[in-house]
Each structure stands twice: as structure tokens, then as C-alpha cells.
Homo-oligomer: A and B are copies of this chain.
Amino acid sequence: MPTPLLFKIHHKSKENAARTGTVTTPHGSFRTPAFMPVGTRATVKGLTPEQVRATGSDILLNNAFHLMLRPTDKRIAEFGGVHKFMNWHRPILTDSGGYQAWSMADINTIDEDGVTFKSIIDGSKIRMTPERSIEIQNNLGADIIMAFDDCPSSVEPQSQNLARRRHALTVRDGKMTGQQHASRLLQSLDRTACWLERCDAAHQKKDIQSLFGIVQGGVDLELRARSVEQICNIELPGYAIGGVAVGESPEKIAEVVKFTAKLLPEEKPRYLMGVGYERDLVTAVASGMDMFDCVLPTRNGRNAHAFTKKGPLNLRNACFVDDLGVIEDGCTCSSCATGNSRAYLRHLYMSKEMLAGILVSIHNIHHFQSLMIDIRRSIEDNSWSALPNRWPVLHSP
């Protein structure tokens, strides 16, 4: 059966592993490298689909775990799928909910077959297996769906607070010895590979939905290589790197991504999950990654953090009280272009007005999309090295 996802590479950088391309799905296409805003519960927080679209976004991400709990995947299937439900008629990717099953719920059991956990909504017991995760995502109907994987745990207690992002290595089953932990990591890799086979076998809508496999392995490059071998052994429309940006240094992220990306099939889109800040994205693109998602533009936007080419602004700061400038001179986002001043935005934040987070979320997503446009241009113009001149934030430590 032909894949419903076409990936055409347009240009490969002469300076590094970066490439530009177009991914075409049943709901339209998007240019790569691509940034996907996060719309966890079938809404990019505070923005209408028209406003999301106006930021230059072509594809967004929903979370299968949250939508399975409410309004339920069955209901969304009856509604005709998540595109229609949330009124976004362009490409959508759903995260499998694997990580959320661990991070957001009390796990009762985890075994070879799957996970049983308590609902965050009503405490009811929910069983999640690779088959059920794919059924949920088949019901939701996103263009790209993600494998359900086994997320092993870190033995370092100090990393627990940091391990809030997808596929963190967190321990919930008590302390382990180093030997036990190494053994658990290997078990999780094998289980993830086994579960991917089951995901692929369970996938009922290969004609309209494309399943991506997820490579794990933490910061251990040997484990990453082993995971790539296992995951790419299954022929799929695309592959993702999970388990990064869980508190490692930017250098460590860069090392893992650079090492892993080049092992992934060149002709398939490569998706780096949950990353990140501007510099992380640029570094990952240079390593050959094509797709990204991150909550930073919206979550930080709600917290008065505005991204600019020169670095972030905290719009609650008193220095903005009389600042009549827009967030960023020359910015073409609908917030800056209509003249909303830093002073006005600060007033809205201080007054706890919803519009503050809305306008700055719009600006921030537009900022990330502008970076992606410039990244693509830099690849196609062979002017990669000039990118940091236009984006001074890439210089900051």
C-alpha cells in the first residue's frame, strides 16, 4: 500500500546535513524544516485556527492521551476526526500519549503488553497498549501518528524535576542499582521495538495516516545506535528522535541529535520531538532534522516571555511601562504589525487580561515560523553561516 505521506527533498546544504523539502499529507503539505505549534487538547491555547494560520503555521500537534480522556477518541471519530472537530483543515500530527501515560497518571502496572493507569479526570482505570494507542490515533484521524513506546526511568533523583518532557527517563518504581537500570534501559529499547511492530500491525488506516517510529536511548550513543537499528528495521513513512530535551545541556542535545540523525534513513522525514529553543532547532536542522514541535511559544507567551531575534523579553518588567515600541521592530506578526506596544502588553499582563497571552503567543509562534523560513532560505541560498547575523539570539550561551 502506498504511503499517504510524500516527502520531497528540495535542497541539501553544502555546509552541513541540513536539507529543505516538502511533506505532502491528505490535508495538504508543509515545508521542511517545519515547526509545529502544540494544540494539546485540540486547541492552541487562546488562538483561533485563523490566528494560528496567520502565524505561518502549516501543521500542528495534538495529544492523543488528552483527547482520549476528553472528549474521547470515539467521540472525535463520530465527529469526523480531529481536523473537523477543532476546525483546522491542514495537516495534524498526534503524539501517541506514551509519555503522558507515565508523567500525568498514577501507573498501576507496566508489563510486556502495556500500561494500566488512572485517569487524571476521574481516577478510572485505563489500559493502554500499542494496539489501543493506534486505535485512538486512528479514531482521531491525524495525518501523522506516533508509535507508542516504553519510557524507561532515570536513576538520578535530581533529574526527576527536569524530566517533564516527552520520553524522559524517569523512575517511578523506586531506586535501582546501576546494573538494574542498564538492564531496564535495554529492556525498554527491546520493548519499544516490539511495541512498534505491534503499532504497525494494528494500524488500520495506512491509506490516510502515516505512522512514525520513535528512537530512544537517552544520552547513551550506543543505545541510540541500537534503537535506530531496531526502529528503522520496520519500514515506515518517517522516524522521530524522542527522549531529548529532558534537562540535558544544549551541547548534549546537539551531540545526541547529530549522532542519531545521520543514522536515520535520508529519504524519510526526521522529527525531533519536543525541541526547543532557537539554537536547539538550528543545531538540529544542521544535523539533518526536518520537523519540530514545542510548547515554548505558547506557554512562555502566557507567562509574559516574548521571543525576539535578539533574545527574550519579560514583558512584566517595569522597564516596559512607558515603552511605546512593539515587541520587535519590523516584525510582521499580527500583534506587532497592528502596533500593540510593549507598554500595552505589560498593562494587559499586570491586569491579568487574557489578551496579553494571546497577542504574545501569536508573536512567539510567528517568531519560530520566521526562524524556520529563514533557516529554509539559508539552506537553499547556501548562506547557512550568515543565519546567526540575522538571529543574534543564536549567539547567546
Q: Mark A residues whose CB is within 8 Å of B.
A: 41-43, 45-51, 66, 70-71, 75, 78-79, 84-87, 321-322, 324, 334, 338-341, 343-344, 346-348, 350-351, 353-355, 357-359
Smallest CB gap from A335: residue in B: B48
Cβ distance A162 to chain B, nearest Cβ, rounded Å: 26
Whether A347 pairs with B87 at a CB distance below 8 angstroms is no
Whether B41 pairs with A353 at a CB distance below 8 angstroms is yes
- Whole-angstrom distance between the alpha carbons of A297 and B48 in the complex? 18
In the assembly, how many copies of this chain are there? 2
- Whole-angstrom distance between the alpha carbons of A344 and B86 in the complex? 7
Q: When the two chains form the complex, which single residue of B48, B341, B350, B358 contacts A85, counting CB atoms closer than 8 Å?
A: B341
- Whole-angstrom distance between the alpha carbons of A346 and B348 in the complex? 27
Given A322-B75, A343-B71, A343-B79, A358 and B48 touching (CB < 8 A)? yes
Whether B358 pairs with A87 at a CB distance below 8 angstroms is no
- Whole-angstrom distance between the alpha carbons of A46 and B351 in the complex? 12
Cβ distance A188 to chain B, nearest Cβ, rounded Å: 31
Whether A87 pairs with B338 at a CB distance below 8 angstroms is yes
- Whole-angstrom distance between the alpha carbons of A84 and B340 in the complex? 9
Q: Which residues of B contact A338 (CB under 8 A)?
A: 48-50, 87
Interchain Cβ contacts under 8 Å between A and B, 7 examples: A41-B353, A46-B354, A66-B351, A78-B322, A87-B340, A87-B344, A354-B357
Whether B351 pairs with A47 at a CB distance below 8 angstroms is no
Whether B355 pairs with A45 at a CB distance below 8 angstroms is yes
Whether A354 pairs with B45 at a CB distance below 8 angstroms is yes
- Whole-angstrom distance between the alpha carbons of A45 and B84 in the complex? 27
- Whole-angstrom distance between the alpha carbons of A17 and B45 in the complex? 46
Given A75-B321, A339-B87, A343-B75, A350 and B70 touching (CB < 8 A)? yes
